């Protein structure tokens, strides 16, 4: 069995490899070659922790396994550790033997940023120039860095409820040589692409904040009750997702579907666009929206790629197990 510790991931796995792994597995899901298992998420009644498993099997990539982990809200203060903790376990599909244990923390950020990047590449207008960020926390910096590689953006605008966090994303824009402007939410009308990545339970982005032709990647809502954008914006948009079953239950689409403003049948898998079985954006005026709920197969895809890279570079730790 192979171990790839968390500390090695940063040097092994880049945005390009993450993008390729996630795009490939989204395609496999839409082709019916890969599926996610039901998600388990439990409040364990200790350390205020939420803990769970996300697993799946990708027959095309021959990847079987699960990500185990969750959220320990007191980690930083009490233990000096980050609050989100996860580990990926991979198994040999032919035998069920354990193949690898891989640190999952950085991989989660890379695979989540890769998902919105895949959506921007396949759904945003080719001439998109202004990218708008709603959110400026830990994930937002990864999201922006990856998104900037998908189009010839010339400007970054950003809004965050807690304004003191905006320098996080301003720094990414500056590193990329782009001007950054802090805006109020109505200022988002200037954006051609918008990423929402907050932990909000109330909508921030309203339909009137979004111009025709914009692509929106909603990445923060991954739990029942969370919400980042208004339901009438979901109703107005052509909605794509990683997995329809998750989008309508715990993704950004959950509220619009519950209100009867969008039906499950209206929501398409992004993998269909990747595979060419759905045309994607229909016109330059259409608002497209990617509901990125986060599926276990994304974690397995990037973890499997990391294992291959670690073996190639001779830094995989092999144990007799
Ligand atoms: P973080 O704690 O670092 O940042 C939270 C962000 O949400 C900040 O920008 C904060 O200002 C903002 N925020 C908090 N309350 C808000 C409110 N009421 N209204 C508007 N904004 C508010 O968190 P993070 O690690 O950046 O994660 C952000 C979100 O992304 C979380 O909800 C997390 O669960 C989700 N997430 C999703 C996926 C996925 O695959 N879709 C993967 C990882 C994380």
The tens digit of pLDDT for each residue in 97-150 reads 999 999 999 999 999 999 999 999 999 999 999 999 999 999 999 999 999 999
What CATH code would you report for 124-294?
3.40.50.720
Q: Tell which residue, 149, 98, 59, has the closest CA to residue 307.
A: 98
Nearest CA to 160 out of 177, 178, 176, 144 is that of 144
Phi-psi region of 290 (alpha: psi -120 to 50; beta: other; left: phi over 0): beta
- Ligand 1 pocket, mutate which of 135, 165, 206 (most atoms under 8 A from CB): 135
Q: Which residues are catalytic?
A: 67
Residue 244 pLDDT level (bands cut at 50, 70, 90): very high
Best of 39, 196, 198 to mutate for ligand 1, by most ligand atoms within 8 A of CB? 198
Q: How far is the CA of 220 from the centre of ligand 1 (A)?
A: 5
Report the C-alpha gap between 293 and 262 in whole angstroms.
Answer: 17
> Measured in angstroms, how far is the CA atom of residue 88 from the centroid of ligand 1?
22
CB neighbourhood size of 249 (10 A)? 16
Residues with CB under 6 A from ligand 1: 108, 112, 135-140, 160-162, 165, 197-200, 202, 204, 219-220, 222, 292-294
Ligand 1 centroid – CA 142 distance (Å): 12
Q: pTM here?
A: 0.97
Interval 27-59: pLDDT, tens: 999 999 999 999 999 999 999 999 999 999 999
Distance of CA 136 from the midpoint of ligand 1 (Å): 8
Backbone angles phi, psi at 62, to 5 degrees: 50, 55
Which residues, in sequence order, are CB contacts of 18 under 8 Å at separation 6+?
107, 110, 111, 113, 114, 146, 302, 305
Enumerate residues 6+ apart whose C-beta is below 8 A from 32: none
Q: pLDDT tens-digit profile of 185-226?
A: 999 999 999 999 999 999 999 999 999 999 999 999 999 999
Nearest CA residue ID for atom 17, ligand 1: 200
Residue nearest to atom 7 of ligand 1 (CA): 198
Q: Whose CA is nearest to atom 27 of ligand 1?
A: 139
Residue with CA nearest ligand 1 atom 42: 112
CA of residue 24 to ligand 1 center, whole Å: 26
What's the pLDDT at 89? Answer: 98
Reported as a single tens digit per residue, the pLDDT across 169-190 is 999 999 999 999 999 999 999 9
Q: What is the pLDDT of residue 97?
A: 98
Ligand 1 atom closest to the CA of 109, numbered from 1: 43
In 3D space, the residue among 201, 188, 196 whose CA is nearest the CA of residue 292 turns out to be 196
pLDDT digits (tens, 9 = 90+) for 1-31: 999 999 999 999 999 999 999 999 999 999 9
191 contacts 132 by C-beta, under 8 angstroms: yes
CA distance 315 to 42: 35
Q: Which atom of ligand 1 is nearest to 251's Cα? A: 41
The pLDDT score that the predictor gives to residue 55 is 96
When the candidates are 3.30.1780.10, 3.40.50.12710, 1.10.1040.10, 1.10.645.10, the CATH number that belongs to 2-108+297-318 is 3.30.1780.10
**What per-residue confidence (pLDDT) applies to 184?**
98
Pocket test for ligand 1, best of 220, 228, 246 (most atoms within 8 A of CB): 220
Specify whether the backbone of 230 is left (phi greater than 0), alpha (psi in -120 to 50) or beta.
beta
The 10s digit of each residue's pLDDT in 265-290 is 999 999 999 999 999 999 999 999 99
Nearest in space to 190 (alpha carbons), one of 206, 215, 209: 209
pLDDT tens track for 76-98: 999 999 899 999 999 999 999 99
All structural domains of the chain with their residue ranges:
2-108+297-318, 124-294
What pLDDT sits at residue 297?
98
pLDDT computed for residue 279 by the predictor:
98
> Whole-angstrom Cα distance, residue 161 to residue 218?
16
Distance from the alpha carbon of residue 60 to the mean position of ligand 1, in angstroms = 32
* Residue 316 DSSP symbol: P
Per-residue pLDDT band for 311 (boundaries 50, 70, 90) equals very high
């Amino acid at each position: 069995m192979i171990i790839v510790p968390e500390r090695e991931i940063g040097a092994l796995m880049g945005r390009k490899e993450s993008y390729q792994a996630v795009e490939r597995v989204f395609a496999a899901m839409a082709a019916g070659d890969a599926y996610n298992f039901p998600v388990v998420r439990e409040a364990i009644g200790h350390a205020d922790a939420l803990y769970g498993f996300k697993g799946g099997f990708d027959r095309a990539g021959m990847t079987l396994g699960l990500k185990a982990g969750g959220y320990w809200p007191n980690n930083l203060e009490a233990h000096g550790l980050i609050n989100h903790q996860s580990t990926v376990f991979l198994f040999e599909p032919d035998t069920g033997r354990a193949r690898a244990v891989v640190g999952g923390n950085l991989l989660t950020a890379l695979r989540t940023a890769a998902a919105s990047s895949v959506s921007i590449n396949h759904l945003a207008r080719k001439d998109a120039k202004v990218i708008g960020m709603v959110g400026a926390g830990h994930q937002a910096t990864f999201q922006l860095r990856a998104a900037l590689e998908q189009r010839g953006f010339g400007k970054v605008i950003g809004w965050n409820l807690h304004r003191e966090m905006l320098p996080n994303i301003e720094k990414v824009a500056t590193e990329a040589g782009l001007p950054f402007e802090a805006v109020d939410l109505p200022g988002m009308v200037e954006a051609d692409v918008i990423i929402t990545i907050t932990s909000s339970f109330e909508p921030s982005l309203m339909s009137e904040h979004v111009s025709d032709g914009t692509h929106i990647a909603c990445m923060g809502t991954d739990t029942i009750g969370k919400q980042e954008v208004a339901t009438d914006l979901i109703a107005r948009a052509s909605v794509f997702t990683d997995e329809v079953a998750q989008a309508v239950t715990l993704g950004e689409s959950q509220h619009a579907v519950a209100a009867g403003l969008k039906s499950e049948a209206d929501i398409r898998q992004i993998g269909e666009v990747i595979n060419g079985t759905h045309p994607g954006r229909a016109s330059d005026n259409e608002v497209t929206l990617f509901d990125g709920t986060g599926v276990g197969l994304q974690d397995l895809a990037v973890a499997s790629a990391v294992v291959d890279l670690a073996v190639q570079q001779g830094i995989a730790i092999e144990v007799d197990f």
